[in-house]
Chain A
């Protein structure tokens, strides 16, 4: 894919956090939260990022928009590398990418009216000329996300979880970004409200044309909204491809286990469950060879020593497993 086609191109991104600081404050060990990750997002595309807790998906989502400092690699946004940017130059770029957070109770200032929560972004980027224009813009944003103009004068505690998440979405939309990183945007909501928010995100994308990086642990939700899916395990991408291809013919044993673990409502569709033994290993001392081999049901001798590279097994479908065909 050439640069002009992709909105975001992440190359060999690394985020390492120091732990166990040794003598003279020199870090002796690192958590390799994100290790050598590369992917692209096209304009207006939705890419899903799935994995279990501790796999590094939230860190990756935040590092991509420079909320966490990357340790190495490149983040090309519209062809411009974000990694070396600082201060005003970075702030000028921030308008192009926004974030929606998981917990709608923690991510809105309880002392601010909705008008100011959404309006603050407009002020910072000087997108409105006067108070009247600001009020009108906030009210139209509220209507875009399915709330009423009158809600602008209320405080966050007056809203339900689903409505608060709509306010968070309106705030992200305010600066007309090209990319929104959605970090578990529906996992704190009730099932019936989850579906409303997923549909709203799809409608807004059709209307405004921004791209999403949709981070979640629920593969079924990700499947519904994404065109492509990245599966992450211990800081690395182990499988990526078209959503349908990844969900219907997963090649990596980890993805296969993840899919078989998704509970199915209809008893007629019950499949054989592949229950993985053990927990996700520590990212400070990841296993040698393939990071998944201690839990892998089909691991061989070479999986313990050789790190599998991501290779294309089918057009657009990449897997890092020695045994995948």
Chain B
């Protein structure tokens, strides 16, 4: 049984006629111990999807308009408040983008980690366990570091503390929402290595939300690409990154500058990411698609399994113009 199964998730912002659908029919599944990369640009709905897993979205304005989020077999959207508290931090933990903004500036980091332990594993709320966790995430001299305040640590060290805090309740699923975006490349490499190593050591599943396709290739088993609130392509990471089938994924990958190429023009995607509430009719990518046909603005294409384990939301994925 998958650890996490999202079925036809629909999330609105606002009610009635003013409702704007930010997430439209997202379906994902994640096996225990595996890593799924959820990729998209800003406004694609990837963070909203991630926050919904532990029902962390503020309601209002958010409305869970439909679908199911099965976490270890139980539908998160139908849990009562007390049950939710057990799941949040206990079964699923989060690591966010800005470690500096996620840590409480007026408490020592050791105390903040201990707080997570007290909530979920009160018997383990000891200095020794805090030191073990800090050691696990690679913080040198944890005995003295646990007495530090967040501002005394660098960004990379703060993110390690956030990971230690997320690991404290021994979650089955770690949701990492852009965990390295605020960090330098050399520190980013350290954190991704740490996540990969922790996953092996602890056997937890990771849902990695990112806009950076390169990071996904480093750590993910599977990849789902989101655009304008929908998944447009999904498949095994190795295969998808080598052979993207959807025109959006192809264009996105081509617009990433690489070190290998000589200075030449970058391939761009014309126009901008559509704003919430202004999603185009038909295929939502058609106004920016280099191979769009007149039919694309008519009927919205379904997400179809075109090859084993390869899902694509484009009926023309197999046309010769896309394979070039």
A: residues with CB less than 8 A from B are 52-53, 160, 162-163, 190-196, 198-199, 202, 217-221, 223-227, 243-244, 247, 257-270, 273, 275-276, 279-280
Q: Among A199, A264, A275, point to the contact of B266 (Cβ < 8 A).
A: A199
The answer on a CB contact under 8 Å between A160 and B272 is: yes
Q: Indicate whether B190 reaches chain A with its CB closer than 8 angstroms.
A: yes
4 more CB-based (< 8 A) A-B contacts, given A226-B263, A247-B259, A261-B189:
A192-B251, A192-B268, A193-B273, A198-B266
The answer on a CB contact under 8 Å between B242 and A263 is: no
Q: Indicate whether B256 reaches chain A with its CB closer than 8 angstroms.
A: yes
- If over half of A's interface residues share one DSSP class (helix, strand or loop), that class is named, otherwise mixed; here it is helix
The digit string for B193-216, where 1 denotes a CB below 8 A from any CB of A, is 100000000000000000111110
The digit string for B211-234, where 1 denotes a CB below 8 A from any CB of A, is 111110110000000000000000
- Per the bound structure, the CA–CA distance linking A191 and B258 in Å amounts to 12
From 267 to 286 in chain B, residues with beta carbon under 8 angstroms from any chain A beta carbon are: 267-270, 272-273, 275
Q: Indicate whether B238 reaches chain A with its CB closer than 8 angstroms.
A: yes
B157, B253, B269 pick with most chain A CB within 10 angstroms: B269
* Tally of B interface residues using CB under 8 Å: 47
- Per the bound structure, the CA–CA distance linking A193 and B185 in Å amounts to 21
The answer on a CB contact under 8 Å between A273 and B272 is: no
| Known contacts A162-B272, A190-B211, A198-B266; is-contact A261 B259 (Cβ 8 Å) | no
- Per the bound structure, the CA–CA distance linking A194 and B186 in Å amounts to 21
- Per the bound structure, the CA–CA distance linking A226 and B264 in Å amounts to 10
- Per the bound structure, the CA–CA distance linking A191 and B263 in Å amounts to 18
Closest Cβ–Cβ distance, residue B184 to chain A (whole Å): 4
| Known contacts A160-B272, A264-B258; is-contact A279 B154 (Cβ 8 Å) | yes
**CB nearest to B156 among chain A residues:** A279
Q: Among A199, A219, A225, A226, point to the contact of B185 (Cβ < 8 A).
A: A219
**CB nearest to B270 among chain A residues:** A196
| Known contacts A192-B273, A275-B189; is-contact A263 B255 (Cβ 8 Å) | no
B185, B188, B218, B263 pick with most chain A CB within 10 angstroms: B185
Q: Indicate whether B187 reaches chain A with its CB closer than 8 angstroms.
A: yes
The answer on a CB contact under 8 Å between A223 and B255 is: no
The answer on a CB contact under 8 Å between A192 and B259 is: no
The answer on a CB contact under 8 Å between A263 and B257 is: no
Give the residues in chain A near B184, CB-CB below 8 Å: 52-53, 217, 280
Q: Among B156, B218, B260, B265, point to the contact of A199 (Cβ < 8 A).
A: B265
| Known contacts A261-B185, A265-B213, A279-B187; is-contact A195 B268 (Cβ 8 Å) | yes
Closest Cβ–Cβ distance, residue A129 to chain B (whole Å): 36
Q: Among A163, A192, A193, A263, point to the contact of B214 (Cβ < 8 A).
A: A263
The digit string for B236-255, where 1 denotes a CB below 8 A from any CB of A, is 01100110000000011101
Give the residues in chain B near A194, CB-CB below 8 Å: 255, 257
- Per the bound structure, the CA–CA distance linking A275 and B259 in Å amounts to 18
The answer on a CB contact under 8 Å between B257 and A220 is: yes
Give the residues in chain B near A196, CB-CB below 8 Å: 268-270
- Per the bound structure, the CA–CA distance linking A225 and B262 in Å amounts to 9
